[in-house]
């Protein structure tokens, strides 16, 4: 396999990991605020706090790996995306800082502050909305070169139906993924009230998720016909995603095999995400930038691959220990001590 394909595959895998882990985190923030406003925090707050306490510091590792690797493997992306994404990326960084401060001061009253909890909850929706701008812009039509300058067409971006359907999909996907996992987590904790509330959220957001996915297909067909045709040529991948979605919703509805249900949710987004990425190749940005034109030198590429392999060798055992000791530890999940 060529360095270009290895590099983009590694980066896309890290981004998929961030999609899952961050979605659970972001959605949990929204549900925490909702529970506070509706005075149902006694139902789900304990489950959410128990999950987030050991996890929140790990979430952004995937995103850091992705952006460092993107600039390392494909340096030209900094020229095209650097200026264009200055505003949305800055917004995302501010929102991430707000979430980080919430966690830092959680034990000093932040969880009881309506203002802090509101910022924490709303940031969980605004961050994926702002980050989704990157995927929207990559489809072309929003960035032009004027002389030696890259210009972002904000009017085109703001009034594009495709842009808004991608934002909508990012929002509802976060809420669906998060509710699906937290419902499973609540069932493991044997917290019936929390489970029923989170299960209802998962079922509620399942419909908008599949509708938003369909709308993205429809609007992409008019925005980027070339990419849309490539997706039709790999239709089986997206049909597999749909099958996984149906199976996941069915299991959640039946209140059975909830761990398997979340695996199907992960596969649903995995098929769709990797199918989207595969059909997007070789372009990183239509029509200016491809993985072949922007790849770094062979020596730097090999060094980056080695660095990422060692990074994975450190990250995977760490994640395993985190899951083993906290997330899927029966005593911890149920709030018991280790004694």
Q: What is the pLDDT of residues 130-179, one digit of tens each?
A: 888 888 988 988 888 777 777 888 888 888 999 999 999 999 999 999 99
102 part of a folded domain: yes
Which band of pLDDT confidence, cut at 50, 70 and 90, is reported for residue 216? very high
Instruction: Give bridge partners of residue 95 from the DSSP assignment.
Output: none
Cα gap 132→138, rounded to integer Å: 10
> Is the model's pLDDT at 45 over the cut of 80?
no
SS3 labels along 255-289:
CCCHHHHHHHHHHHHHHHHHHHHHHHCCEEECCCE
Instruction: Give the strand pairing for 283-285 and 289-290.
Output: antiparallel
Angle at 282 between CA 280 and CA 287, to 5 degrees: 80
Select from 104, 63, 84 the least CA-distant residue to 157.
84
pLDDT at 234 over 70: yes
pLDDT-based confidence at residue 332 (cuts at 50, 70, 90): low
Q: How far is CA 325 from the centre of its chain?
A: 24
Residue 338 lies in a domain: no
Residues contacting residue 64 through CB under 8 Å, at least 6 positions apart: none
For residue 328, the model assigns a pLDDT of 63
Q: Looking at residue 297, what is its pLDDT?
A: 75
With cut-offs at 50, 70 and 90, classify the pLDDT of residue 38: confident
Rounded-to-integer distance, Cα 275 and Cα 263, Å: 18
The Cα angle at residue 15 between residues 10 and 16, in degrees rounded to 5:
95
Specify the pTM: 0.89
Residue 106 has pLDDT above 60, yes or no: no
Count of residues in the chain: 339
Higher pLDDT, 232 or 105: 232
> Could you count the other beta carbons within 10 Å of the beta carbon of residue 243?
14
Position 41 scores a pLDDT of 61
Q: How confident is the model at residue 105 (pLDDT cuts 50, 70, 90)?
A: low
What are φ and ψ of residue 105, in 5° steps?
-105, 15
* Residue of higher predicted confidence among 178 and 124: 178
Give a yes or no: residue 339 inside a domain.
Answer: no
Span 59-77, average pLDDT: 79
Does residue 190 sit within a domain? yes
What pLDDT was estimated at residue 242? Answer: 96
313, burial (CB in 10 Å: exposed 0-12, middle 13-18, buried 19+): exposed
For the chain, the domain total comes to 1
Tell me what pLDDT residue 304 has.
81
Q: What's the rounded Cα separation, in Å, for the pair 321 and 249?
A: 29
Q: Tell me the mean pLDDT in the region 300-327.
A: 75
Does residue 1 sit in helix, strand or coil?
coil
Would residue 20 count as lying in a domain? yes
The reported pLDDT for the residue numbered 4 is: 80
The alpha carbon torsion through 196, 199, 203, 205 (nearest 10 deg) reads 120
Q: What angle, rounded to 10 degrees, do the helices at 3-37 and 258-280 form?
A: 130
Specify which residues 146 forms β-bridges with: 149
Comparing 113-127, 158-172, 267-281, the range with the smallest average pLDDT is: 113-127
* 214 has a pLDDT exceeding 70: yes
pLDDT of residue 110: 52
**What is the pLDDT averaged over residues 278-286?**
90
By mean pLDDT, which of 97-106, 195-204, 255-264 is the weakest?
A: 97-106
Q: Please report whether residue 133 resides in a domain.
A: yes
Q: Which of 315, 313, 304 is nearest to 8 (CA)?
A: 304
Domain hosting 225: range is 3-333
């Amino acid at each position: 396999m060529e360095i270009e394909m290895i590099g983009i595959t590694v980066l896309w895998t890290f981004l998929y990991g961030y999609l899952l882990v961050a979605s659970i985190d972001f959605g949990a923030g929204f549900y925490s605020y909702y529970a506070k406003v509706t005075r149902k925090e006694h139902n789900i707050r304990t489950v959410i706090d128990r999950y987030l306490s050991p996890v929140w510091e790990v979430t952004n590792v995937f995103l850091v790996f992705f952006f460092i690797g993107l600039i390392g493997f494909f340096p030209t992306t900094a020229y095209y995306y650097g200026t264009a994404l200055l505003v949305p990326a800055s917004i995302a960084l501010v929102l991430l800082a707000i979430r980080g401060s919430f966690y830092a001061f959680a034990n000093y009253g932040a969880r009881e502050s309506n203002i802090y909890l509101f910022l924490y909850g709303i940031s969980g929706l605004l961050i994926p909305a702002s980050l989704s701008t990157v995927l929207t812009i990559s489809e072309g039509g929003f960035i032009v070169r004027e002389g030696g300058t890259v210009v972002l067409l904000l009017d085109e971006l703001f009034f594009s139906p495709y842009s808004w359907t991608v934002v909508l999909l990012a929002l509802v996907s976060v809420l669906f993924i998060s509710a699906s996992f937290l419902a499973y987590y609540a069932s493991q904790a044997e917290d019936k009230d929390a489970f029923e509330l989170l299960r209802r959220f998962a079922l509620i957001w399942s419909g908008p998720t599949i509708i938003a996915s369909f709308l993205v297909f429809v609007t992409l067909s008019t925005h980027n016909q070339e990419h849309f045709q490539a997706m039709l040529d790999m239709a089986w991948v997206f049909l597999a995603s749909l099958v996984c979605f149906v199976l996941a919703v069915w299991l959640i509805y039946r209140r059975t095999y909830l761990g398997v249900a979340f695996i199907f949710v992960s596969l649903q987004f995995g098929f769709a995400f990797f199918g989207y990425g595969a059909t997007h190749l070789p372009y990183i940005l239509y029509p200016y930038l491809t993985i072949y034109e922007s790849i770094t030198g062979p020596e730097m590429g090999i060094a980056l691959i080695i660095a990422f392999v060692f990074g994975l060798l450190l990250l995977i055992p760490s994640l395993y220990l985190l899951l083993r000791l906290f997330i899927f530890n029966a005593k911890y999940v149920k709030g018991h001590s280790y004694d």
